[in-house]
Amino acid sequence: MISRYFRISATAEVRKSFTLKLSPMTEIANLGEFGLIDRLTQGIQLQNTSTLRGVGDDCAVLRYSNNPEDSKRVLVTTDMLMEGIHFDLTYTPLKHLGYKAAMVNFSDVYAMNGTPRQLLVSLAVGRRIQVEHLDELYAGIRLACERHGVDLIGGDTTSSLTGIALSLTCIGEAEANDVVTRDGAHDTDLVCVSGNLGAAYMGLQLMEREKRIFQSQKGQAETVAQPDFSGKEYLIERFLKPEARRDIIQRLHEAGIRPTAMMDISDGLSSELMHICKQSQKGCRLYEERIPIDYQTAVTAEEFNMNVYTAALNGGEDYELLFTVPLACHEQVAQLEDVKIIGHITTASEGQKLVTRDGNEFDLKAQGWNPLAQAEE
C-alpha cells in the first residue's frame, strides 16, 4: 500500500508541474549542451566507493575489486544519436551509421587511455524502418566490434514516433596508472593532436549540398543529377565512417609516453581544448599555423567560401585525440607518426588564446553548432 506521505508528495508534485508550465522558463538553447550538463550535474555526490570518477570525463571510472593488488579499472561511456539531429538518412547509409555509432563510443574509451571491451546497443525505430534496414545497421555495428575486439553483449529495442534513436554504452578497461583524464595538464605541457581536422565537417557540407540539389529536382526523374564526389572521397569517408584512434594509443604506449590530459575531438578542437584548460585550471596557446589540415579539406573550404581554420576549430566529429604531454617528451612526440604539436599549456591567468599566423592573439571560443538550439527551431 502507498503511504499517505507519498500520496501527498505526488499530489504536490503534480501541482508544481502545472505551476511550472505557467511560469517563465529558461530556453535550453540559452545554456547550450555543456551548460545544461553543468546545471543538471552540479552538487552530485558520489555515494559508492566503487565509483572513482563520475561526470566530467569521456568515461566514468569504476573499481569493483576489493583486492588491493588488482590494478584494473572499469571505464563506462554512453552516447545517444538521434535522427534529424546527429544523422540524416537522406545520405547516411545504415551500415555506416551503425559503424559510426560504435566508433563514437570506442573513441571515448581510447581518450581515457583504455581499451573498449563490451558494447550495449539500445534502439528505437519507427514504422517506416524494415527488418532489412536493421540488418544493415547491425552489420555496421558488428563490423566495428570485430575490428576493435569488442563484444556486443545486449541492449534494448522499442518503438519511436520520431525516427531512429540510438543509445550505445561501451565498457572498457585500463590499468589504474594508465587512466588519463581531462584535468591533468600542467604549465609548459605540449598540446598535441592526432591526424588532421575539419575533414568531417567539410564532408558534411558536401552531403548537405547534394541533399539540397536532390530536393530541388524532385519530380524530375529523367533529369535528376547523380552526386559527384570525385576527388572528395576522403572527406565523405571521414564524415560517414570515422575511425577511433586505437593506433595512436598503441604508439604512445610503445614510446613510453603517458599523456597528462586527453580527450577525443567530437565537438571541435576549440571546445575540447577549452574543456582541458577549464578542468585543469590552466590557460593555453594554440598556434593556427600548426593545426593539421588535409589538402582536400582546404580546397573544399575554399569552394564553399569558408575559413578552413574555422572548420578545424569548430567543425567537430573528427574523433581525433587531443592530448597534453610534458615538455620533456618533445623529441619523442615529434617522432610519432600522425601526431602534431600545436601549442602549449600556460597558467590560467594568461588565458586561452589562439595565435594567428601574423602573431596576433585572440580569445579561444567554442563557436560550434549547437544541436539543442537546432532542435528547438
Tens of pLDDT, residues 39-76: 888 888 899 999 999 988 999 999 998 888 789 999 99
Instruction: Quick: pLDDT tens for 15-40.
Output: 666 565 556 788 887 877 677 878 88
Could you tell me if 76 and 114 are in contact, meaning their C-beta atoms sit under 8 angstroms apart?
no
pLDDT at 376 (0 to 100): 47
pLDDT at 233 (0 to 100): 95
Report the candidate in 190, 172, 32, 189 with the shortest Cα–Cα distance to residue 116: 172
pLDDT at 116 (0 to 100): 98
Instruction: Quick: pLDDT tens for 84-137.
Output: 999 999 999 999 999 999 999 999 999 999 999 999 999 999 999 999 999 999
Report the candidate in 317, 332, 58 with the shortest Cα–Cα distance to residue 190: 332
* pLDDT tops 90 at residue 3: no
What 3-state DSSP class applies to 345? strand
**pTM recorded for the entire structure:** 0.89
pLDDT at 369 (0 to 100): 46
Q: Give the list of residues 6+ apart from residue 73 with CB closer than 8 angstroms, or none.
A: 52, 61, 62, 63, 114, 173, 174, 175, 176, 179
Instruction: Quick: pLDDT tens for 194-211.
Output: 999 999 999 999 999 999
pLDDT at 242 (0 to 100): 97
Average pLDDT of span 251-268: 96
- Confidence class for position 301, pLDDT limits 50, 70, 90: very high
* pLDDT tops 50 at residue 231: yes
* pLDDT tops 50 at residue 377: no
Nearest-5° Cα angle at 336, 114 to 317: 55
Take residue 322 and report the three cell numbers written for it. 587531443
- Domains of the chain are 49-175 (3.30.1330.10), 190-216+228-367 (3.90.650.10)
Sign of CA dihedral 87, 93, 96, 101: positive
* pLDDT tops 70 at residue 161: yes
- Half-sphere exposure (CA, 13 Å, Cβ side) for 133? 14
* pLDDT tops 60 at residue 279: yes
Instruction: Quick: pLDDT tens for 345-364.
Output: 999 999 999 999 999 999 99
